[in-house]
């Protein structure tokens, strides 16, 4: 079995304007690196489908989904951009891109559970881990990982899943949706204090939050992960692992001040893959979140995928 790679051209059409760090070129940089380094041939490519609204409502309230649909469809009809908040802007393609991103995560979950792929990576945008059950924020409209995790539980019948988040920013939206759900264990590292200025006090006993001071380097972060994530995951014995794969903790990324490099992302992915091999039949679905220095993003995703594919 191969690693499934899910994306769609609609994810490039969502554009929040010149100079915005969450830009379409992020996906181009990843694709260019994969082709240049020969990793593209090791991946099984799939077009991301449009998520059904009933899938989105596994993680978001019906009222929020209806409201954001109306707003984004109006933007599409008008042909003009609209600021949802100071950081999050919609253009005429945002509605379809957001549905493709969520649809990729759901489809990846099915591919892995149906043994059509050993694991999967979703190269999608907009990202998702800041979207709460009833609010878009931080470049995010739908919480792709939370939707996929709930799909695995509520639709596919798993009993326990884990969410691993190594973005430089706290996955506040994922925590808002999944806190208190004892079928889920969420473990995360994030710089603190930093946007969205949350996570120091977990919202539920199923949250293992590891706030990290600015300028912490990879060796120290590895020690924190080993001490705090791994025992919790071992006790929980997840049947599937979902990854909010943000690469903005890289030392070259200006949106944070942590010090990870490609070797650290390799180590983190190896630890996740080892856990999945022991407890999950290898089942991992990884979904792109942050990462805004194009070169560092491309190299880090490539490293992540080398581990997932075993190449």
CB contact at 8 A, 173 and 199: no
Give the active site residue among 130, 250, 279, 304: 130
The residue among 221, 127, 111 whose CA lies nearest residue 172 is 127
Residues 6+ apart with CB under 8 A from 244: 128, 129, 145, 163, 164, 165, 166, 167, 171, 174, 188, 287, 289
Three-state secondary structure readout of 273-293: HHHHHHHCCCCEEEEECCCCC
Torsion of CA 71, 285, 306, 99, to 10 degrees: -20
Q: What is the token pair recorded at 124?
A: 């999608």
46 is catalytic: no
Torsion of CA 128, 129, 132, 134, to 10 degrees: 0
Element of type H or E holding 187? strand 184-191
CB contact at 8 A, 289 and 170: no
Q: What is the token pair recorded at 20?
A: 């915005």
Element of type H or E holding 11? helix 10-13
Active site residues: 130
């Amino acid at each position: 079995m191969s690693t499934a790679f899910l994306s769609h051209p609609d994810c490039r059409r969502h554009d929040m304007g010149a100079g915005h760090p969450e830009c379409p070129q992020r996906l181009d940089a990843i694709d260019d690196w994969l082709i240049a380094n020969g990793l593209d041939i090791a991946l099984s490519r799939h077009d991301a489908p449009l998520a059904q609204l009933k899938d989105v409502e596994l993680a978001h309230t019906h009222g929020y989904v209806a409201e954001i649909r109306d707003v984004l469809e109006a933007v599409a009809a008008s042909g003009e951009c609209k600021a949802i908040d100071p950081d999050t802007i919609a253009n005429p393609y945002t509605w379809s891109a957001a549905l493709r991103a969520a649809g990729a995560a759901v489809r990846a979950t099915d591919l892995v559970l149906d043994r059509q792929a050993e694991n999967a990576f979703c190269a999608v945008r907009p990202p998702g881990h800041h979207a709460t059950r009833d609010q878009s924020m931080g470049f995010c409209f739908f919480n792709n990982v939370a939707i996929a995790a709930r799909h695995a539980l509520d639709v596919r019948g798993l009993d326990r899943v884990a969410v691993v988040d190594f973005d430089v920013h706290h996955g506040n939206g994922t925590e808002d949706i999944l806190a208190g759900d004892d079928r889920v264990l969420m473990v995360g590292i994030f710089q603190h204090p930093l946007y969205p200025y949350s996570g120091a006090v977990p919202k539920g006993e199923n949250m293992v939050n590891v706030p990290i001071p600015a300028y912490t380097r990879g060796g120290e972060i590895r020690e924190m992960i080993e001490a705090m994530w791994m025992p919790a995951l071992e006790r929980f014995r997840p049947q599937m692992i979902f990854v909010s794969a943000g690469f903005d903790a890289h030392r070259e990324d200006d949106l944070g001040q942590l010090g990870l490099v490609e070797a650290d992302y390799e180590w983190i992915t190896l630890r996740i893959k080892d856990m999945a091999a022991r407890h999950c039949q290898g089942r991992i679905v990884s979904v792109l979140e942050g990462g805004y220095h194009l070169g560092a993003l491309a190299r880090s995703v490539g490293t992540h995928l080398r581990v997932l594919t075993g190449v």
